[in-house]
């Protein structure tokens, strides 16, 4: 209808003697009916039997054969009309209408024999956050839901289980203390330290092939090219990258990639290509192994690296360093190139890995070390102090 078009309104003269038009509004959105379509039935209360107009109190029922809907006519001081305009004459007739707010009748669901379990407080809060929360809260909720697993699925925690033991600072009992989600798989009954961890759990076969080719190209490169590449490594790798064989070169190259990945900032993780200096397949595997992805309502994918993933990355770095340095590592040397990780944190993770920690004096300097030897270190749970009896 254009702004310049004239329109004459005409109210139906016998409006009180004719049933009004029914307009329905479904609370949960658009209803997709079955092949037979929705069937409606309308009832009036006994006090409104002789009342035909809008003032009658009506109940409207609808069903599609599987789910029932109910709605009541709203009693409002406002009057609602439906207009029908004749394009030729420009006249519009107004008809009374009644609004019905239709809600699903969950108490009488067809074929449902299971009782409706009331939602907990936190389930309700999560639903509100999902519907009305900010982008940051929705992102945090998606991350939490991905990290949460029903503990009843398995009594013992495995590498891919929930985050009940997601931090090394959280003490656990003797029965589950060795099965924490951020640890690489380990065999605590291994006869020698070299068999406690499997290097194939740290470096995938696909990555091993790529590292072998990269190490071979580097070892046969001219001296100038070799020295240039060697100077670009982290200090830990640079100090060890001389007079080595191809196997150790692969381990050092992968250690260098892990250090670069661990140094990534929050804004780097959220970029489309967080690590341009790390080639594939290492980049792809590290992003899948040490980050979490979530998608928004608009389909936008965001990536995060929560604390349990950061601990997992540090644990993999320590295990790889154990293979490089014959299962005795200098924690101070490793800590210098890590981002926001202190030596006490490294000691905690190393002890959970089964290492013994302590200090050695090298010349005039005292350094912290971790050594993997048999029998493996057993981490004893620490019990909290008794609560204070002071009255408030």
**What was the pLDDT predicted at 254?**
92
Identify the CA nearest to 196 among candidates 378, 379, 373: 373
CA distances from 60 to 26, 52, 100, 206, 254 (A): 12, 15, 7, 64, 69
Mean pLDDT of the chain: 76
CA distances from 245 to 121, 198, 202 (A): 60, 20, 19
53: confidence class by pLDDT, cuts 50, 70, 90: low
CA distances from 292 to 133, 170, 224, 305, 314 (A): 20, 22, 40, 6, 16
Task: Please state, for a pLDDT cut of 90, what percent of the chain lies above it.
Answer: 12
**What was the pLDDT predicted at 82?**
83
**What was the pLDDT predicted at 51?**
62
**pLDDT tens per residue across span 188-239:** 889 999 999 999 989 988 998 999 888 888 888 888 888 888 888 888 988 8
Residue 157, pLDDT > 50, answer: no
**What was the pLDDT predicted at 133?**
79
Residue-by-residue DSSP string for 342-381: -HHHHHHHHHHTT-EEEEEEETTEEEEEEE--SSPPPPPP
- Scanning the structure block, which residue is given the tokens 């009342």? 51
Q: Where are the beta strands (DSSP E) in the chain?
A: 8-11, 21-26, 39-44, 58-63, 68-72, 81-85, 91-104, 292-295, 301-304, 328-330, 356-362, 365-371
**pLDDT tens per residue across span 309-344:** 888 899 999 999 999 999 999 999 999 989 888 999
Choose the weakest-confidence range: 12-26, 85-99, 357-371.
12-26
**What was the pLDDT predicted at 42?**
82
Q: 331, 369 in Cβ contact below 8 A?
A: yes
User: How far apart (Å, rounded) are the C-alpha atoms in residues 34 and 64?
Assistant: 6
Q: 215, 250 in Cβ contact below 8 A?
A: yes
Name the more confident of 42 and 371: 371
Q: 368, 350 in Cβ contact below 8 A?
A: no
**What was the pLDDT predicted at 238?**
87
Residue 158, pLDDT > 90, answer: no
255: confidence class by pLDDT, cuts 50, 70, 90: very high
Interval 344-365 mean pLDDT? 88
> What structural domains does the chain harbor?
10-46+57-108 (2.60.40), 199-326 (no CATH)
Task: Please state, for a pLDDT cut of 70, what percent of the chain lies above it.
Answer: 73
């Amino acid at each position: 209808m254009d702004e310049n078009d004239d329109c004459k309104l005409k109210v139906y003269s016998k409006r009180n003697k004719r049933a009004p038009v029914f307009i329905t509004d479904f609370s949960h959105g658009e209803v997709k009916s079955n092949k037979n379509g929705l069937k409606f039935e309308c009832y009036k209360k006994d006090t409104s039997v002789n009342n035909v107009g809008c003032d009658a109190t009506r109940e409207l029922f609808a069903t599609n054969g599987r789910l029932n809907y109910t709605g009541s006519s709203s009693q409002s001081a406002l009057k609602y009309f439906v207009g029908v305009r004749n394009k030729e004459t420009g006249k519009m007739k107004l008809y009374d209408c009644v609004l019905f707010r239709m809600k699903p009748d969950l108490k009488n669901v067809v074929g449902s024999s299971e009782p409706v379990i009331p939602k907990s407080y936190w389930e309700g809060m999560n639903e509100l956050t999902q519907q009305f929360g900010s982008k940051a809260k929705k992102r945090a909720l998606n991350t939490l839901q991905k990290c949460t697993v029903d503990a009843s699925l398995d009594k013992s925690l495995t590498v891919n289980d929930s985050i009940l033991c997601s931090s090394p600072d959280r003490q656990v009992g003797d029965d589950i203390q060795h099965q924490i989600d951020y640890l690489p798989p380990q065999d605590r009954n291994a006869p020698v330290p070299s068999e406690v961890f499997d290097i194939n759990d740290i470096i995938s076969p696909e990555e091993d092939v790529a590292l072998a080719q990269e190490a071979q190209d580097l070892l046969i490169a001219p001296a100038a090219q070799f020295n240039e590449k060697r100077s670009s490594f982290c200090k830990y790798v640079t100090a060890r990258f001389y007079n080595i064989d191809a196997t150790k070169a692969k381990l050092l190259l992968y250690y260098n990639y892990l250090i670069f990945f661990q140094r990534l900032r929050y804004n780097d993780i959220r970029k489309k290509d967080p690590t341009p200096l790390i080639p594939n397949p290492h980049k792809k595997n590290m992003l899948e192994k040490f980050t979490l992805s979530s998608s928004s309502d608009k389909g936008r994918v965001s990536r995060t690296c929560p604390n349990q993933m950061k601990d997992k990355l540090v644990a993999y770095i320590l295990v790889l360093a154990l293979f490089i340095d014959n299962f005795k590592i200098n924690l101070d040397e490793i800590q210098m190139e890590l981002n926001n990780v202190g030596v006490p944190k490294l000691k905690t993770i190393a002890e959970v890995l089964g290492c013994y920690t302590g200090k050695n004096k090298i010349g005039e300097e005292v350094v912290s070390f971790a050594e993997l030897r048999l029998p493996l270190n057993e981490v004893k749970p620490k019990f909290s102090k008794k609560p204070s009896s002071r009255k408030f």
